[in-house]
A and B are shown apart, each in its own frame.
Chain A
Amino acid sequence: MSDAVTKQKEDLSRLNEDYATKYGFHDPVDYFDQGAKGLSHEVVEMISQKKKEPRWMADRRHEALDIFYEKPTPKWGNVDLLEEINYENIYYYLKPTGQSESWDDVPEYIKQTFDKLGIPQAEREFLGGVSAQYESEVVYHSMRKDLEEKGVVFLDMDSGLRERPDIVEKYFGTVIPSNDNKFAALNTSVWSGGSFIYVPPGVDVEIPLQAYFRINAENMGQFERTLIIADKGSRVHYIEGCTAPVYSTNSLHSAVVELIALDDAYIRYTTIQNWARNIYNLVTKRATAHRGATVEWVDGNIGSRLTMKYPCIQLVGEGAKGEILSVAFAGVDQHQDAGAKVIHAAPRTSSRITSKSISKDNGRASYRGLVKIHKNAEASKVSVECDALLIGTDARSDTYPTMEIDNDQVAIEHEARVSKVAEEQLFYLTSRGLNEDEARLLIVNGFMEPFTKELPMEYAVELNRLIELEMEGSIG
């Protein structure tokens, strides 16, 4: 074995211990503000009062809570795990500190957390704005001056509601109403934090805006709420990442993300979800694309115990475009139930869904998708491609696409493939001197490449490292 290979192997074995040291730590915290465990109208009222919200929002929260109580738990996805969630054993609101605009003002333990995660460093290097959420509240927030001058609004959601109530009231809950599903209702009733972005007409936010979400406490529920509005002809790229410490009991992350791309606007939303393996990640993400607008979801799911997430694009204006690029990695005991939905509700709309999943050990990756073509959506085009790679005899892959086509002048294609790492490819690489581990890793990286190449450099590197970490020791 060559030295380089030996070194790579050493790197890999180091990476194997990484999550615990890199993200798995937690801070002992005396919370500035800590609600009681469990869910009730009192808790909802407490959250709303603490935030000094307008009454309409408080009413909206209470209404949503009633919807949450009414709605049954979904009978699909992973029913067993969903039934395990004990809503009474969760903290719905934890406030660690006030918000800072200067990194120096952030409390030391939080600063260390985000330093370890590389947040301000990334900001200095390549971001237009950064928001960092710790438990329920955004603790750090900053944006480049030039963007501010152009009228770009990038705030945490609570500040957004305070400072731009006009925009928030106009759009909040219009893409995902409270009664959309049980978890959207839950989020609407107890939401806290998240990002609010408004890009004025014609403004191109050339460098990405980023948010980072961190759960620290055990039994914490994080319910951030994000609303992004790209006004006519504007462009914006938003990136979010998430981690949490490793606890023995489960935590819940249930976000709602609404995107609105007005005429000819462009929004790209990139997620690298790397929650610890005890997080239930039940997220509702949906975008509306108006005439000529483009929305792209780039969605990577590496962590969590169970993820149920199906980013959706509603193409409501003529010529709107949607693209969803999704990748899921299901390792030990993980179930990644991810997918994509596109609703074509206007003529000459087009969409493309590319889903890549890897199931390893006893992991289970499911693609669950919907393509709906409404009667009026003539001359629309859809292409769906799902690739699944299985590694190990206990791995499981499911594909549940649904296509509902109500117009005859359309072109719809769906393809899915499931396979293991091809013997010929392994043979080819091993005959050129790579050992089987390295060969397999190379093949897996190639399999993921259509996804990784869409990520900003730093993220692509990080993702490749994560995959390496997951792949380590995959061959007996």
Chain B
Amino acid sequence: METPKLSPSQLTGPEWLQAKRAGSLTSYNDLPLPQRGLHLWRYTDPRTFVIDSAEATTTSVESTFADVARVEKQHFDDGHLDALVIDNQGQTITSDLSADASAAGLVAGSLTAALDSHRELAERYLYALVNTAFGKFEAMNGALWQDGVFVYVPDNAVLTRPIHLLREAGTNGSRQFPRLLVIVGANAEATVIDEYGGGADEAGDTPSYSNGVVEVFGGAGSRTRYISLQRHGRGMNAYLTHRAQIANDASMVTVPLAFGGATTKQNFGVNLNGRGANSEMAGLLFGGNYQHFDNHTLHHHTVGDTYSNIDYRVALKDRALSAYTGLIRIDQKAKNCEAYQENRNLLLNPGTRAETIPELEILNEDVSCSHGATVGPIDPLMLFYLTCRGIPTDVATRMIVSGFVASTFDKIPSDARERVAAIVESRLGDI
């Protein structure tokens, strides 16, 4: 299928960035729409993410946004956060930094502003992982992002409290291209909560659209936690590509959480690029109604003596669908690697659909790898055990599901855990 060629009125930014944007635009316009037969597109219609005009469209935001922002501001004022960044549809980006964080040299705020203030870093790292030729939709973001968020944690800086990014999308018919660049220096430590809210409220509304790209770098010996919380409205079609790279002895925990949206396609990947690097992913997805989720994860071991683990959990009810494709790739020269992957799917009622494709590509012998996947309803034995002890079936069901999601909850900093718990709770409400 031919997709409309995009021709933005201008490509903003300094010269080097204009060149990247132009390259991205060429890629987007030249690359064909992915074929449905290609395995990453087997379950999702790529036309969902095609747009006809290159301009971002902003709208007013939901009134609930003010409440959420107020709560987070209070958290910040109470000293629970090292930084709070509020991104309103890529238009206005405001940030607060704690005194400790400022003293440690943390930068968290507008990406456009960082193009001036941290030009070298921006030029070196932006597009380094998700480049202009990464894929058609990634190129769309590469050409069209307006503003985004820039987080820089200098070498040896240890931030004990989360950096919370609150990113709100517009409502009906809005269109945005969020971008995030996180650079964590050598031996530094940081937690980033990347929270995506907003979007058209209901499935029947004029859909809103979001196409985001995230790049995260963990320097040597750094410890990074990155939590991606997607709680868009039910009328949002969201596409997100995340790539991280970690250097030697760095560890990274990536927590992709997906609850909202109409059609959501997300791709999380970590490249283990230095000896001793260690990556953990703990994903959780809870779908209801007619929600459609298509998630990919990648652990790419390019260097030996590296360790990775993925635990991706899916709970589905109503008519929700989840497709999960997880790839572990171990390059030929990457000896002595360990890589594990697990995908559990809990189907809470008839009519749900779960597809799971855990993949391995192992190009050398000196590895230890395994993956597992399960799909099934709540174990009737567990339910029986609880109900014989006088617990009503619905309560017992909720308890079991709470147990199912608990291991992922442990990976979520307390600041975001409340909100995630509230979402899960509301999903469980009508079981």
CB 8 Å contact bits of A406-443 with B (1 = contact, 0 = none): 11111111111111100000000000000000000000
Instruction: Looking at the assembled complex, report how far the CB atom of B151 sits from the nearest CB atom of chain A, in whole angstroms.
Output: 36
Q: Which residues of A contact B332 (CB under 8 A)?
A: 393-394, 396
Whether A400 and B357, one on each chain, are in contact in the complex, defined by CB atoms closer than 8 angstroms, is yes
- In the bound complex, what is the Cα–Cα distance between A408 and B316 (angstroms)? 10
Name the CB-closest residue of A to B356.
Answer: A403
Name the CB-closest residue of A to B368.
Answer: A419
Report which of A388, A401, A406 forms a contact with B362, defined as CB distance below 8 A. A388
Q: Which residues of A contact B356 (CB under 8 A)?
A: 402-403, 405, 414
Known: A76-B39, A416-B371. A410 touches B376 (CB 8 A): yes
Whether B362 and A398, one on each chain, are in contact in the complex, defined by CB atoms closer than 8 angstroms, is yes
Report which of B335, B358, B364 forms a contact with A401, defined as CB distance below 8 A. B358
Q: How many residues of A contact B (CB 8 A)?
A: 36
Whether A408 and B347, one on each chain, are in contact in the complex, defined by CB atoms closer than 8 angstroms, is yes
Q: Which residues of B contact A409 (CB under 8 A)?
A: 350, 377
Whether B353 and A418, one on each chain, are in contact in the complex, defined by CB atoms closer than 8 angstroms, is no
Whether A414 and B363, one on each chain, are in contact in the complex, defined by CB atoms closer than 8 angstroms, is no
CB 8 Å contact bits of B197-228 with A (1 = contact, 0 = none): 00000000000000000000000000000000
Interface residues of B in 334-389 (CB under 8 A from A): 335, 345, 347-377
Whether A418 and B350, one on each chain, are in contact in the complex, defined by CB atoms closer than 8 angstroms, is no
Q: Which residues of B contact A420 (CB under 8 A)?
A: 365-367
Whether B366 and A393, one on each chain, are in contact in the complex, defined by CB atoms closer than 8 angstroms, is yes
Instruction: Looking at the assembled complex, report how far the CB atom of B35 sits from the nearest CB atom of chain A, in whole angstroms.
Output: 8
Instruction: Looking at the assembled complex, report how far the CB atom of A424 sits from the nearest CB atom of chain B, in whole angstroms.
Output: 12
Interface residues on B, range: 35 or more
| Top 6 A-B pairs, shortest CB-CB distance | A390-B365, A408-B347, A412-B375, A399-B360, A420-B365, A418-B369
User: Is A315 in contact with chain B by the CB < 8 A criterion?
Assistant: no
Whether B349 and A408, one on each chain, are in contact in the complex, defined by CB atoms closer than 8 angstroms, is yes
User: Is B37 in contact with chain A by the CB < 8 A criterion?
Assistant: yes
User: Is A404 in contact with chain B by the CB < 8 A criterion?
Assistant: yes
Q: Which residues of B contact A405 (CB under 8 A)?
A: 345, 347, 353-356, 375
Instruction: Looking at the assembled complex, report how far the CB atom of A453 sits from the nearest CB atom of chain B, in whole angstroms.
Output: 24
Q: Which residues of B contact A400 (CB under 8 A)?
A: 39, 357, 359
Name the CB-closest residue of A to B370.
Answer: A417
Report which of A392, A404, A408 forms a contact with B350, defined as CB distance below 8 A. A408
Name the CB-closest residue of B to A393.
Answer: B364
Name the CB-closest residue of B to A392.
Answer: B365
Name the CB-closest residue of B to A418.
Answer: B369
What DSSP secondary structure best describes chain B's contact surface? strand
Report which of B355, B364, B365, B374 forms a contact with A402, defined as CB distance below 8 A. B355
User: Is A334 in contact with chain B by the CB < 8 A criterion?
Assistant: no
User: Is A397 in contact with chain B by the CB < 8 A criterion?
Assistant: yes
- In the bound complex, what is the Cα–Cα distance between A414 and B373 (angstroms)? 5
Q: Which residues of B contact A392 (CB under 8 A)?
A: 365
- In the bound complex, what is the Cα–Cα distance between A420 and B366 (angstroms)? 6
Q: List 15 A-B contacts (CB under 8 A).
A: A75-B38, A390-B364, A398-B361, A399-B360, A400-B357, A403-B356, A403-B357, A403-B375, A405-B347, A405-B354, A413-B372, A414-B374, A416-B358, A416-B372, A418-B369
User: Is A395 in contact with chain B by the CB < 8 A criterion?
Assistant: yes
Instruction: Looking at the assembled complex, report how far the CB atom of B305 sits from the nearest CB atom of chain A, in whole angstroms.
Output: 15
User: Is A391 in contact with chain B by the CB < 8 A criterion?
Assistant: yes
Q: Which residues of B contact A390 (CB under 8 A)?
A: 362, 364-365, 367
- In the bound complex, what is the Cα–Cα distance between A392 and B352 (angstroms)? 44
Instruction: Looking at the assembled complex, report how far the CB atom of B290 sits from the nearest CB atom of chain A, in whole angstroms.
Output: 15
Seed contacts A395-B365, A410-B376; 11 additional CB < 8 Å A-B pairs: A390-B365, A394-B364, A396-B361, A397-B361, A399-B371, A402-B39, A403-B355, A414-B371, A418-B369, A420-B366, A420-B367
Whether A401 and B373, one on each chain, are in contact in the complex, defined by CB atoms closer than 8 angstroms, is yes
Interface residues of B in 113-135 (CB under 8 A from A): none
Q: Which residues of B contact A404 (CB under 8 A)?
A: 353, 355
Interface residues of A in 361-394 (CB under 8 A from B): 375, 388, 390-394
CB 8 Å contact bits of A79-94 with B (1 = contact, 0 = none): 0000000000000000
Whether B365 and A393, one on each chain, are in contact in the complex, defined by CB atoms closer than 8 angstroms, is yes
Instruction: Looking at the assembled complex, report how far the CB atom of A450 sits from the nearest CB atom of chain B, in whole angstroms.
Output: 18
Q: Which residues of B contact A408 (CB under 8 A)?
A: 347-352, 376-377
